[in-house]
Structure formats: C-alpha cells, structure tokens
Amino acid sequence: MRSPGERTIMTTILIVDDDANSRTLIRDLLRLEGYDVREAASVAEAMEAARISGPDVIITELMTASIDGIELCRNMRAEEGSRGTPIIVMTALDSREDMALALDAGATGHSTPVQRTSSPNLSMESKFGRGSAP
C-alpha cells in the first residue's frame, strides 16, 4: 500500500473489444486496481490509440464480428512503437490452433473465461509484472 502523497507511475492498458459491456467490465476491474485504461472497439481504433497513448499492455479479444486479434497482433508487431508491447489475447475458444496462431502473430499470452472470472490483474502481474501501479 502506498503512503499518502506518494507519487506513482500508472501502467496504461488498452482494452480492444467490440462489446461495450465487456470493455466496461474489464475497464472497471482494472481501474479499481489502479491501472490507467484506454479502450478501442476495432482494430483500426486500437492502432490509432496505440500510436497516440503508447499503452504498456494490450488486452484484446481473439475473434469477434469486428475484431481479428491475430490481425491486431501482426499490425502491432509491424509498428515500430508497439513491437515490444505485451498483448494478452482473450478467447472463449478452446482451440490450441487458434492460440498458436495468436502467439505466432505476436501475442504474449492468453486468458480464457475461467481465468477472466478472477481479476485480470492477477494474469498481468504474473506475466508482465505490475511495475509501479498503486
């Protein structure tokens, strides 16, 4: 726990999901943990948000009607400014092939519905470290 008046550097997380309710749920959980959260509803919005805010971590759906997480991973890895940004891919699918494609495209890790029932923070801390977030 930090002391009153202690300054911290917040970790910025970009959530990419075309479902507003899902984004809101994840955003609220992460903000409660002290993270600075940005949102995008499409690959194009995510690319623009990454250029503008340079997030520390990206959380994206693997595949929805308007989001192709594999395409997003490839696009992020092609951009000089986001090549090293960790990308967590969320999926309800239990396909090793899909996850292998995502990892080959540049995803750093993944989260399944069982993992998502607990705080997303636990997954990020174990995979990427929490840094200086409060």
Q: Kindly list the domain boundaries of the chain, sorted by start residue.
A: 12-123
Residue-wise pLDDT tens digits, 72-115:
999 999 988 888 899 999 877 667 887 888 889 999 988 765 44
- Among the residue ranges 7-16, 18-27, 30-39, the one predicted with the least confidence is 7-16
Residue-wise pLDDT tens digits, 37-64:
999 999 999 999 999 989 999 999 888 7
Cβ neighbourhood burial of 110 (10 Å; 0-12, 13-18, 19+): buried
pTM (predicted TM-score): 0.76
What does the buried/exposed string (b/e) look like for 79-97 if buried means 16 or more CB atoms within 10 Å of the residue's CB? eeebeebbbbbbbeeeeee
The residue assigned the tokens 């997030």 is 55
Question: What is the C-alpha separation between 70 and 23, in angstroms, rounded?
Answer: 19
CATH topology of domain 12-123: Rossmann fold (3.40.50)
Report whether 12 contacts 53 (CB < 8 A): yes
